[in-house]
């Protein structure tokens, strides 16, 4: 009677079904041992429930009943208490063990789980999915695991990348262009004044019969001054172009802030 009761507990409906044949008994006997050694106790218990049938050879049946009783005594279980932030139970909960949904667990009962490290994931409509890593030990029958699920919040629209890049890159480029303009105008003014000074000295010494060699340095200074002034003008235009959208936006905001309704 004890064996029959164990078989009914491990595999509901076994007594009403036809018993396995000898080949099936031997196969489940061997498979159950391999699963037991791999610490896959839930699957091993199901295999031992098959080879514990009265239709199996006596020695096989004896082994399977004994091993099934041992695993039934050592099989760990977790009592899951999953609630929302207000402390209320979460309805419609889905529990995943190592990526597989536990569909065979009756609501409100302990979750049978094999010894070792596992990842549990909890999902429910209206809540953020929650994962928790647990280490389960042999014989832990009623270990309680408290989980609080956070409510799902409305998604936040991402800021447009183009706008972010424009607002950050334009002022930096404008300041750089303005700096180049100031530098270029300074260089141009320096070479222009140097050219004027040399020209004044040479004109007093050799005019009007100055040679090309005597005038070459003056022309070089003037040429550098012209190029520098041109570069400064271009940099000024670029700086104004980059500053303009930001200045216009600030002026618009300032104008709008002045209205009172």
The pLDDT value recorded for residue 96 is 92
Question: What average pLDDT does this structure show over 16-38?
Answer: 88
Q: Rounded distance, CA 192 to CA 188, Å?
A: 6
Q: What is the mean pLDDT of the chain?
A: 76
- pLDDT digit string (tens) for 99-109? 888 876 666 67
Q: Which residue has the higher pLDDT, 233 or 46?
A: 46
Distance CA(225)–CA(61), nearest Å, equals 106
Which residues does 209 contact at the CB level (< 8 Å), separation at least 6? none
Specify the pLDDT at position 221: 65
Q: Of 50, 49, 55, nearest to 68 (Cα)? A: 49
- Give the dihedral sign, CA 198/199/203/206: positive
CA 121 to chain centroid: 16
Distance CA 139, CA 143 (A): 10
**Residue 60, pLDDT score:** 92
Predicted model pTM: 0.46
* Mean per-residue pLDDT, 216-227: 70
**Confidence grade of residue 214 (pLDDT, cut at 50, 70, 90):** low
Conformation bin of residue 135: beta by default, left when phi > 0, alpha when psi is -120 to 50: beta
Q: Is the pLDDT of residue 22 over 50?
A: yes
- β-bridge pairing 116-123 and 94-97: antiparallel
Instruction: Check residue 29 and give its pLDDT.
Output: 94
pLDDT at 34: 95
Residue 66 has a pLDDT of: 95
Q: How far is CA 25 from CA 5, 28, 191, 199, in A?
A: 19, 5, 104, 116
Interval 243-254: pLDDT, tens: 666 555 555 555
Q: Phi-psi category of 140—alpha, beta or left, where left has phi over 0 and alpha has psi -120 to 50?
A: beta
The Cα 203–Cα 50 span in angstroms is: 119
Whole-angstrom CA distances from 137 to 89, 112, 114, 118, 159 are 26, 12, 8, 11, 48
Higher-pLDDT residue of 177 and 106 is 177
CA angle 66, 69, 70 (to 5 degrees): 90
Q: Read off the pLDDT band of 119 (50, 70, 90).
A: very high
Residues sharing a CB contact under 8 Å with residue 96, sequence separation 6 or more, in sequence order: 102, 120, 121, 122, 123
More confident residue, 245 or 61: 61
Hey, which of 24-33, 213-222, 238-247 has the most confident mean pLDDT?
A: 24-33
Provide CATH code, domain 77-149: 2.60.40.1120
């Amino acid at each position: 009677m004890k064996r029959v009761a164990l078989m009914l507990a491990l595999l509901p409906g076994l007594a009403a079904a036809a018993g396995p044949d000898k080949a099936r008994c031997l196969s489940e006997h061997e498979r159950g041992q391999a699963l037991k050694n791999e610490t896959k106790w839930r699957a091993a218990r199901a295999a031992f429930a098959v080879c514990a049938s009265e239709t199996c050879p006596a020695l096989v049946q004896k082994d399977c009943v004994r091993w099934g009783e041992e695993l039934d005594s050592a099989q760990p279980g977790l009592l899951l208490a999953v609630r929302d932030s207000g402390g209320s139970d979460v309805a419609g909960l889905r529990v995943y063990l190592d990526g597989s949904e536990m569909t065979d667990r009756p609501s409100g009962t302990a979750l049978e789980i094999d010894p070792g490290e596992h990842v549990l994931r909890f999902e429910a409509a209206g809540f953020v999915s929650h994962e928790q890593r647990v280490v389960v030990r042999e014989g832990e029958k009623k270990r309680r695991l408290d989980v609080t699920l956070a409510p799902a919040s409305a998604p936040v629209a991402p800021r447009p990348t183009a706008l972010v890049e424009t607002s950050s890159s334009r002022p930096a480029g404008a300041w750089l262009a303005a700096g180049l303009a100031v530098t270029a105008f300074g260089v141009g003014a320096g070479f222009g004044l140097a050219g004027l000074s040399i020209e004044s000295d040479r004109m007093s010494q050799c005019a009007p019969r100055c040679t090309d060699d005597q005038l070459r340095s003056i022309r070089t200074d003037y040429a550098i001054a012209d190029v520098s002034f041109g570069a400064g003008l271009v940099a000024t235009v670029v700086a104004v172009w980059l500053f303009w959208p930001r200045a216009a936006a600030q002026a618009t905001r300032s104008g709008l802030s002045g209205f009172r309704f």
